[in-house]
Structure 1
C-alpha cells in the first residue's frame, strides 16, 4: 500500500510519462522516441495544470466576492476535486483503487469485453471515492471494494461507447475517456440531444464557436469571449477596475492557452496510440484498441471552454434559487469543463445545447452533493483532511455525480444485492 501511495503522490505529470515510456517500449517503439513521447505528455499536463491554476486563482477571489456581495449563505462548502481526490486516496480503502482498476482492466481486455487500455491510472481516484463513500455509509469494507470493481467496469463500458464520438468530434484517434467525471456525461447528453432535435426553433439553431465567430467577427473569437465573460464576472463581483481588467485578460489567456497545452498532450500521445494500434492490427486483425486517457484532452476545445465559463455564474445562481440545496459551489467551478466535455461532443459543439443540458446536470449535482455532504465530511475527518473553518464540506464533482448517486443509493439501500445487480448490469453491457 505504501508503494501505491507513493505512486499516487507522484501525480499524473510524473507517473504518466514513466508509464507511457514503458508502454512504448513494450509496443516496440524506439527508446528515444518513447522517452520523448512520455516526456511531452508530462510537460503537457504541467502546462495544463498551470492554466487550470490560473483559472482557479482568477475565479476564486471573484467568486468569493460574488458570494459576499449577494449574501450567499449555504451550509456546505464545495471543496473541489483536488481535495476530494486527496480524501479518496487518503482512506483505508482508497489505495486499493489502483490495483483493483488495473486488474479489472487486464481481465476485461483478456476476455475481449473492453477495447480500452487505461493508462490514466491516477484518475482511479474517482473509483476510490465511490468505494470509500459506500464504506462510510455501510461500514462494510468489502462492499466498498466490490463497488470499486463495478464502477471501473461501468467506466470502461462508457469509454468504449463514447470513443467513436470522441474520435469524430475531437479528432482523437485511438483515444477513449474512462474518466469517472466526464464519461457519464455521454449518456446524460444523448436524450437531451434527441429532445433538442424535436423542439421547433431550437432544432434549427446551431451555435458553435465557429458559427459565433463568423456572425460576431472579432467579438466571436473564443479568446475575446473569454475576456468578455471575465469582465462580466468581475463586474458582478464588484471588483475595482484594475482587478476586473486583470480577470478579463486572465480568462482570455485561459481560452487561448488551454488548447495549446492539450495539443502538447496529443503530440506526445500520437506515437503511443499509433504504436498500440499497429501492434493490435498485426497480432489481432480486425480488432481495435483505445488508449484510455484523461478527458483533459477535450477541455481545451473552444465550445467546451466557452460553455463552461458561461456556466460559472449560472451555477452560483442555481445554488441560490434551488429549494433544498445546501452546497455553495466554489472549488469545482473550475472543474465544469470536465462535467461537459462529452456534452459538447454529443451536441457537435453547440454551445446553447451544452449550456442548457449543463444547467440540468449541475442542478442534479447540487442536490446529490447536498445529500452526500454529511458523509463526505465524515470521510474527510477519517482521512485526516484539514477542513479549515468549515463544519460541513461536499464536492460538486464526484459528490454530485449522477452515476455515483445511483451506485451509492443501490449499495446503501440493498447492500450486497444492490452491488450484485449493478455488477450484472455492467457485465451485460460490456458483453
Structure 2
C-alpha cells in the first residue's frame, strides 16, 4: 500500500490533479468525454502555471541574488523552496501517511457537516506532511506527529470554509475554495491588517488597484507595460547590464500576461466539475452547499496578486538583510510569494498598495520563523536523504515560516496532547457554527 501511494505521489501535481479531477467528474455524473477533456485542461493549465511561476522565481530570483553579491551580504540558512520542501515532506513514512489521513479527515468532517469543502487538491497534502515531519523531528513521537497533522487539516478546512465567500466575490469562482496550507494563513493575517489600515488616516482613503492604475496611466497601466517597468527597476537595483535589464523586463512582462491566461485554462477545465458538483450536492443533500477545494494557483492570474508579488520579491530580500537576527537567505521560494498573498489580496479588495504593505509586514515574521525552523527542516531533510549540496543549513520560506507552522510545532512540544486537543475542539466548534450559519 505504501508503495502504491509513493508511486502516486511521484507522479507530481501535474499528473495527479487531472487523474483526481477525472475521477470526481465521473462521480458527479459528468459524461466521460467531457470529464477527460476537463481533466486534461486542468493539467495543461497547471503545467502552464508552473512554467510561468518558475520563470518569475528564476528571473527575479536571479536578480535578487545579484543584489546579494553586489552589496556583499551573507545569510546562513538557504531557502530551498517549496519543490524541495514537498520532496522532503513526502520522503518519510509520515509523508506517505498524509494522503490517507487527509482524505479520511475530509470525509469525516463532511459527514458530520463540520466543513463544506470537498478537497481534490490531494497532491498538496505534502503541506500536512511537512507539519507532521517537523513535529516528529522536535518530539520524536510518531503519534503526536500524526495527531498534529489531523488537527492542522481541521484548521485548513475551517479557514477554507470562511474564505469561500471572499473567493467567490473577488475572483468570481463559485463553489471553489482553497484549503491550501501556503495561502490560508495569510488570509487570517490580512483580516487583522485590513482592520488596522482602515483606521490609518490617509491610507484609508487611498485605493490603488489594477483598474485605478490603468485609468490614471493609460497604456502604462496595462499588465505588459507594468511588468516591463517593474523588471527594469529590479534590474537597475541588481546592477544588471542594459541587455540583461531588457531581458528581465520582457520576462516580468510575460509573467503578468501569461499567468492570467494559464488560470483561464485551469478554470475552463474546472468549471464543468464545479457545476456538476453543485448539482450533485443539491439533489442528494438539499440545502447543503459544498465547495471544491483547489490549489490557490487559480488566484495567480489576478493583477493585484501579480503586481504586489513582483514588488514584494526584492522587498523580501531587503527585509532579509536589514532584520536583526534573521538568518534566512530567500532563494527557492521567490515564485511562492504570489501564493503567500493570494488570499490576502481579496481581503484588501485588490488594493496593490495594501497588498505590498501588508505583504511586507507579513514577511517579517515569516523570515524569523523560517530562521527558527531551519534546524528542524535540515534534520527532516537529512532523514529523507535529501541532498542540499554545500549548504550546511536549509529552510523553506513559503511554508517553514508560516504562523501555522510555529503554532503546530510548538503545540507538539509543550503538553502536546492537551494543547493539540484544545486546538482541535476550538476548530471543530468554529467549524460547526460557520457551517450552521451557511445552512441557515
**Pair in the same fold by TM > 0.5:** yes
The corresponding residue for 1:396 is 397
1:313 matches 2:287: no
Match of 1:361 in 2: 362
- 2:160 is matched with 159
Distance 2:148 2:250 in 1: 44
Separation of aligned partners in 2, 1:184 and 1:57: 25
How far apart, in 1, do the equivalents of 2:111 and 2:93 lie? 29
The yes-or-no answer on 1:237 pairing with 2:249 is no
Q: CA deviation at 1:9?
A: 0.9
* SS in structure 2 at match of 1:234: helix
Distance 1:292 1:247 in 2: 35
Displacement after TM superposition at 1:60 (Å): 3.2
The corresponding residue for 2:327 is 326
Q: What residue is the counterpart of 2:10 in the other structure? A: 9
- Superposed CA deviations along residues 325-376 of structure 1, whole A, max 9, x for unmatched, are 0101111111100000011101110011111111111000001001111111
How do 1:99-178 and structure 2 match up within 5 A? 99-178=100-179
The aligned counterpart of 2:258 is: 257
Provide the C-alpha distance between the structure 2 equivalents of 1:134 and 1:7, rounded to a whole number of angstroms: 25
**Equivalent residue number for residue 248 of structure 1:** 249
- Secondary structure at the residue paired with 1:338? helix
Quote the Cα distance in structure 1 between the aligned partners of 2:161 and 2:393: 37
Mapped contact 2:60–2:313 kept (Cα < 8 A):
no
**Residue 211 of structure 2: aligned partner:** 210
Mean Cα deviation higher: 32-41 or 277-286: 277-286
Cα distance in 1 for residues equivalent to 2:225 and 2:132: 42
Residue 75 of structure 1 and its aligned partner are, at CA, apart by: 1.0
> How much has 1:94 moved relative to structure 2?
1.2
Give the alignment of 1:263-274 within 5 angstroms. 263-274=264-275
Verify: 1:82 aligned to 2:87, yes or no: no
Alpha-carbon separation, structure 1, partners of 2:431 and 2:159: 9
- TM-score normalised by length of structure 2: 0.96
Q: Deviations over 1:215-270 (max 9, x none)?
A: 11111122211111111111111121111111110000000000000000000000
Q: Partners in 1 of 2:216 and 2:357 — Cα distance?
A: 21
Q: CA separation in 2, counterparts of 1:313 and 1:52?
A: 16
Determine helix, strand or coil for the equivalent of 1:77. Answer: strand
Give the 3-state SS of the residue equivalent to 2:343 in structure 1.
helix
Question: C-alpha separation between the residues in 1 aligned to 2:305 and 2:40?
Answer: 26
SS in 1 for 2:345: helix
Deviation at 1:137, TM superposition (A): 0.3
User: What SS does structure 2 have at the residue aligned with 1:331?
Assistant: coil
Instruction: Tell me the residue number matched to 2:437.
Output: none
Q: CA RMSD in A?
A: 0.9
SS at match of 1:173: coil
8 A contact 2:56–2:334 mirrored in 1: no
Q: How does the TM-score come out when normalised to structure 1?
A: 0.98
Aligned length: 431
Corresponding residue of 1:375: 376
Residue deviations 1:61-102, cap 9 Å, x none?
222211110112011111111111111111221111111000
Task: Tell me which stretches of 4 or more aligned residues in structure 1 moved more than 6 Å.
Answer: none
Instruction: Output the CA distance in 2 between the equivalents of 1:242 and 1:278.
Output: 54
Q: Select between 190-199 and 35-44 the one with higher mean Cα deviation.
A: 190-199
Task: Answer yes or no: is the 8 Å Cα contact 2:175–2:292 preserved in 1.
Answer: yes
| Structure 2 residues without counterparts, runs of 5 or longer | 433-440
Match of 2:406 in 1: 405
